[in-house]
Amino acid sequence: GAGVSQSPSNKVTEKGKDVELRCDPISGHTALYWYRQRLGQGLEFLIYFQGNSAPDKSGLPSDRFSAERTGESVSTLTIQRTQQEDSAVYLCASSEGQGFSYEQYFGPGTRLTVT
């Protein structure tokens, strides 16, 4: 079946502009994660959605970052007033449920470049 998809695959934006990144999880997956991966670094947890529960936003680096998810479907990550340090690959992952019995399946990522 279809895997996790993300769009756009690449985004170049000017400093100060807002950007919106999209993630389509695997159908039926209730859990959805967003990560940031800076060049040469590991994955940094940003936010977690599980079903209709309140999301865990503890990884969002500033109030310029926000994310939404409608039910158990598409999620969008919004970065307002982008800064150069926001340049990174933003990865989305989904899993069938909460907990590590369920593997996280990653999308291909969105490469964001802030000029």
Partner 1 sequence: GENVEQHPSTLSVQEGDSAVIKCTYSDSASNYFPWYKQELGKRPQLIIDIRSNVGEKKDQRIAVTLNKTAKHFSLHITETQPEDSAVYFCAANGDSSYKLIFGSGTRLLVRP
CB of 23 to partner 1, least distance (A): 12
CB of 24 to partner 1, least distance (A): 14
Closer to partner 1 at the Cβ: 8 or 16? 8
Closer to partner 1 at the Cβ: 43 or 74? 43
Residues that bind partner 1 (CB under 8 A): 4, 31, 40-45, 48, 50, 56, 58-59, 91, 98-100, 103-104, 106-109
Closer to partner 1 at the Cβ: 7 or 104? 104
CB of 14 to partner 1, least distance (A): 25
28: left (phi over 0), alpha (psi -120 to 50) or beta: left
Distance CA 20, CA 88 (A): 14
Distance CA 60, CA 51 (A): 19
Specify the amino acid at residue 21: L
Candidates 71, 112, 55; CA nearest to 89 is: 112
